[in-house]
């Protein structure tokens, strides 16, 4: 019998979990090519005993395995690696079961899910909209029900944006908590490994298993960042307002604050660091993509033009910028704003080869997420409804240092009070992608 889509991994009986591992592997084989979301299927693994109980997961192609080194979105020559990436070893030891390696934007350096060499990852909700990037394949596979956990990375929004676009939960932890050995660096001063799932309760258990994090006091008050909410599109504002009303009924209050100054300063630092560090690490790899990606080369060129002095100044400013942002929140436990200032955009609008290409829209996809990486704070994307097209909307909650568990508990509380996570993408209901376009 098919399990309810609402059920999280840890809600299933032991016998159901065993069957689900096989179902997910079969779904990955079927959905991966359909969504252009997988690079390869993983060898069959016998899950060891552990707190994750065989949880099926997919992993972005930036993490090495001893048998296959990551290819970084088509930018690295295939071959073996010295050993498994540290985060994958930790997942396996905790009882996770990898079922597939997933697609990404080249060098994890593009927010829509576009890859000149590998093609665009399709969104399970509608093929005409983007999947988000750069952890596009992991988000699409989780949203489509082919995995319970997606492993990705977030340098400027690369977990939160695809999670928002695909209607799932996406956790960006604070900087420096998880080991990154064996993971592709993009901008090490900003990079974090992150996770995606349909259910926040599943991520709570994963986070606890991987970090041993103790529980923390619950979030009881939220600072709504009006400077980010007010300019957002009406469907985004409406969904955020309704989500806050749900949380308010659960005893989680909110008040408006203006954080424009600290956010702008942190965003400027994030852009400087991201462009400069990525160019210094990946200049040669960007030139080697096949076919060549002019947009990627332009980003690398901008980074090469940034001086070492400017890069050092941006890095040095990070602690001060974090303090300024936290001060602006006052006594609030966390901050709330959209993930993106508009609903998930059409793929044509962010495709540099399409006549409808709007570069400002592509840039704006991470305009509300980049700054958080410069601050090194944890943040989470939570699905909060759908627009009139039936495509997902999301809110972002930024926590205080060490607040990952509190963010996940907030997301779990919200999901327990709503029914958005019961909605299935068309690919899970039998509707074809072509029918969804009609």
CATH value at residue 355: 3.90.1300.10
For residues 403 and 192, what is the distance between their CA atoms, to the nearest angstrom? 15
Output the pLDDT for position 436: 41
Output the pLDDT for position 179: 98
Q: Which single residue is written with the structure tokens 């749900």?
A: 246
Do residues 149 and 94 touch, judged by C-beta distance below 8 A? no
Residue 2 is assigned to a structural domain of this protein: no
Sign of CA dihedral 430, 432, 436, 438: negative
Output the pLDDT for position 32: 97
Residue 11 is assigned to a structural domain of this protein: no
Residue 350 is assigned to a structural domain of this protein: yes
Looking at the structure of the chain, the number of domains it has is 1
Output the pLDDT for position 224: 99
Q: Which single residue is written with the structure tokens 């907030």?
A: 410
Output the pLDDT for position 434: 41
What is the pTM assigned to this prediction? 0.95
For residues 245 and 133, what is the distance between their CA atoms, to the nearest angstrom? 30
Output the pLDDT for position 7: 83
Residue 5 is assigned to a structural domain of this protein: no
Q: Which stretches of the chain score pLDDT less than 50?
A: 1-4, 432-438
Residue 260 is assigned to a structural domain of this protein: yes
User: In which domain, by residue range, is 81 found?
Assistant: 18-437
Burial class (CB in 10 A: 0-12, 13-18, 19+), 142: buried
Output the pLDDT for position 294: 86
CB under 8 Å to 416, separation ≥6 — which residues?
none
Residue 161 is assigned to a structural domain of this protein: yes
CB under 8 Å to 27, separation ≥6 — which residues?
144, 145, 146
Output the pLDDT for position 293: 84
Residue 365 is assigned to a structural domain of this protein: yes
Output the pLDDT for position 5: 59
Residue 152 is assigned to a structural domain of this protein: yes
């Amino acid at each position: 019998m098919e399990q309810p889509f609402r059920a999280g991994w840890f809600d299933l009986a032991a016998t159901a979990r065993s069957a689900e591992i096989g179902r997910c592997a079969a779904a990955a084989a079927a959905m991966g090519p359909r969504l252009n979301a997988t690079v390869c299927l993983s060898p069959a693994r016998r899950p060891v005993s552990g707190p994750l109980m065989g949880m099926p997961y997919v992993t972005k192609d930036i993490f090495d395995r001893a048998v296959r080194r990551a290819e970084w979105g088509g930018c690295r020559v295939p071959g073996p690696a010295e050993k498994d990436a540290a985060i994958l070893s930790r997942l396996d030891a905790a009882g996770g079961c990898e079922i597939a390696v997933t697609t990404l934007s080249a060098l994890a350096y593009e927010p829509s899910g576009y890859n000149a060499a590998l093609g665009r990852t399709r969104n399970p909700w509608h093929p005409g909209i983007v999947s988000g990037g750069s952890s596009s394949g992991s988000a699409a596979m989780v949203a489509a029900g082919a995995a319970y956990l997606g492993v990705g990375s977030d340098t400027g929004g690369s977990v939160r944006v695809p999670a928002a676009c695909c209607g799932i939960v996406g956790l960006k932890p604070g900087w420096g908590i998880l080991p990154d050995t064996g993971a592709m660096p993009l901008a090490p001063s900003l990079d974090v490994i992150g996770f995606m799932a349909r259910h926040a309760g599943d991520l709570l258990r994963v986070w606890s298993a991987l970090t041993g994090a103790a529980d923390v006091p619950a979030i009881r008050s939220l600072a709504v960042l009006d400077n980010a909410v007010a300019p957002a599109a009406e469907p985004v504002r409406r969904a955020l307002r309704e989500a806050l009303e749900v949380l308010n009924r659960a005893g989680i209050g909110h008040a408006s604050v203006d954080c424009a100054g600290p956010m702008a300063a942190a965003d400027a630092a994030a852009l400087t660091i991201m462009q400069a560090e990525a160019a210094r690490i990946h200049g040669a790899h960007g030139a080697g993509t096949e076919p060549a990606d002019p947009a990627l080369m332009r980003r690398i060129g901008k980074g090469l033009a940034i001086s070492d002095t400017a890069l050092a100044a941006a890095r040095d400013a990070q602690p001060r910028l974090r303090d300024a942002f936290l001060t602006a929140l006052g006594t609030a436990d966390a901050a709330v704003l959209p993930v993106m200032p508009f609903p998930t955009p059409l793929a044509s609008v962010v495709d540099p080869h399409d006549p409808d290409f709007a570069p400002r829209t592509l840039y704006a996809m991470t305009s509300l997420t980049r700054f958080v990486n410069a601050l090194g704070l944890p943040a989470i994307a939570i699905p909060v409804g759908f627009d009139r097209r039936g495509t997902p909307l999301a809110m972002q909650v930024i926590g205080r240092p060490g607040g990952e568990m509190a963010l996940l508990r907030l997301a779990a509380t919200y999901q327990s009070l709503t029914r958005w996570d019961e909605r299935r993408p068309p690919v899970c209901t039998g509707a074809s992608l072509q029918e969804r376009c009609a």
